[in-house]
Structure 1
Amino acid sequence: MNEISVVLPAYNEEENIQKLVKRWQQLCKDLKYKYELSLNIFVIDDGSKDKTEVIGRELERKYDNFYLIKHDKNKGLGEAINTGIKYVMEKRSDSKYVCIMDCDNTQDPRYVFSMIEKMEKTDVVIASRYQKGSCVKGVPFFRLTASYGARFVYTIFLGVKNVRDYTCGYRLYRTSALKTAFKVFGESFIEESGFTCMVELLYKLNICGAVFKEVPFTLRYDFKGGVSKMKVLITAINSVKLTLRLKKIRKGVEPVLED
């Protein structure tokens, strides 16, 4: 049976991790019977200073499909995602899909069903805040404004076909596409350490010829436990720098993914 590997990068998520993992576990039967996919969950504890690791170890004892991977120190979102993707590629040979999402309980795992339905002739499906039927609840005004600004910049300068939401971390990837892109970029596959790593990953897959689609979803920021880790001003500055860097690396890289 094929697998779907869920990668959850976590930093100080003691208020959220147990709730989110439970919601994923509730989907096991439907994933198996509807799509013949077995579920595995990987939490990448990126040097948390709270009880994230303690709770993660308890979940490992409770569920045989749950795994905690620990960074000794905080390395940033990019390195946490990099660790998760590499682990799946190297250790889970039956993994057909990799689903990456935030670990702050703002994104509902149930949207994975609509994402799987979109995967035919597709390499990446994004849970998008900018598709008809999407909804955003509880997001502070300054973050909402920053999100719209980032979308405008990335759309103008990167212009990836079928993509409206460049920064949402909730995505379903075909594992074979990740493997192909990793062969092209090697250890420089993800170089950004902060939240801009999501754009970097998306654009490098685009350079390799990946096909993208989006599904609408509801972002429930009002469900979030704990404080936000995003520094909006720093992220905005890094976004501009990243855009300039990504435009340069496209030269000389030919699409390698098959239609």
Structure 2
Amino acid sequence: MTIGGEVTSALLYLDDVSVTFDGFRALNRLSLSIGANEMRAIIGPNGAGKTTMMDVITGKTRPNTGTALFQARHDLTRLDEASISQLGIGRKFQTPTVFDMHTVEDNILLALKTDRRPFPVLFSKRTREEKERIDALLERVRLTASRHRSAGELSHGQKQWLEIGMLLAQEPKLLLVDEPAAGMTDQETADTADLLREIAKTASVVVVEHDMVFVRDLGVKVTCLHEGSVLAEGSLDAVSANERVIEVYLGR
């Protein structure tokens, strides 16, 4: 395989990726490049291909055609979901998935990047390194004061942060986040934007979002998808001024 400069400089490289379901083309020759420590916002109408794109990246869906490379050398189209996760790709779905009956601290402990089984993990003595790692993660996701609460008692926004913390415990190189601002208060939304900007200092982040105020708060490059392809790309102001984006997504 001949790898050009764009591929070698990208953490994630998608080129000419197409996915068809029963005659419906969910992705249509999609090309996208995400750099190391870059945060990118992905916007677009329902059915634009945003979820299918994440499914391809994480190995849930195999494309009919195209290239999907991670770190220029890992062919994501040939790997299963577990193998892709081990490479350092984490995904957060719109609805947070946490262990409601366990404490916030135990949720983070269960997610730490080691070979862990729930029973021995929860009832064995924690090492100094584990305690320090948990403390750092709880502080990072703004849940230090809630560490002994059960996860089920948290607000929706706090559960979102907890799940992000659990993903960070796996030390991902790329984090895919689906509509993190949905259902949050204004303050939680602002805090989430701050959190994602902090994460992007050490890992790449792809944020799929419909809330344009939140996207503006992120202050990052925006890619608008439509009918499985990139419709426009650039700053939010530039994308928002695109006539086709206005027509198919933003409206007037």
Q: TM-score, normalised by structure 1?
A: 0.25
Structure number having the greater strand percentage: 2
Q: TM-score, normalised by structure 2?
A: 0.25
Indicate the structure whose relative CO is greater, using CA pairs within 8 Å and at least 6 residues apart.
2
The structure with more radius of gyration:
2
